[in-house]
Amino acid sequence: MQVFIPTPLRSYTVQSFVEAQGGTLAALLADLDRRFPGIRFRMVDEQQQIRRHIRVFVNGLQVFDLAHGLQPADEVFVVQALSGG
């Protein structure tokens, strides 16, 4: 399935859209990490939760659970909040 990668994480992928596979969001992120080592840690914390500054949308709906099921035709968008002062 096609996954949108936000600009702050493109140092891992170089591209804004990449292909990945997985029956769940957790499996998809594991596949991304296999192909782009280190990217999963930037999205998932040590408690296996999506980091609070990361939002994941599947077909336009926000997903909070790594166990969320995915279909091969789904579109996944990863969005990272930016802050500063």
pLDDT at 81: 83
Report the distance separating Cα 36 and Cα 29, nearest Å: 10
The pLDDT score that the predictor gives to residue 82 is 73
User: In this structure, what CATH number is given to the domain that contains residue 35?
Assistant: 3.10.20.30
Answer yes or no: is pLDDT of 85 > 70: no
Which is higher by pLDDT, 82 or 31?
A: 31
Residue 21 scores a pLDDT above 70: yes
- Point out which residues pair with 32 in neighbouring strands: none
Residue 84: the pLDDT is 62
Map tokens 């997985």 to a residue: 22
Residue 58 lies in a domain: yes
Instruction: Indicate whether 11 belongs to any domain.
Output: yes
What's the domain count of the chain?
1
Q: Is the pLDDT of residue 18 over 90?
A: yes
Residue-range definition of the domain harbouring residue 19 = 2-80
Predicted confidence (pLDDT) per residue in 36-83, tens digit = 999 999 999 999 999 999 999 999 999 999 999 999 999 999 999 876
32: in domain: yes
Q: How far apart are CA 80 and CA 47, in angstroms?
A: 19
Classify residue 85: in a domain, yes or no. Answer: no
Residue 34 placed within a domain:
yes
Residue 71 domain-assigned (yes or no): yes
DSSP-derived secondary structure for 57-77: EETTEEE--TT-B--TT-EEE
Task: Give phi and psi for 75, each to the nearest 5.
Answer: -110, 130
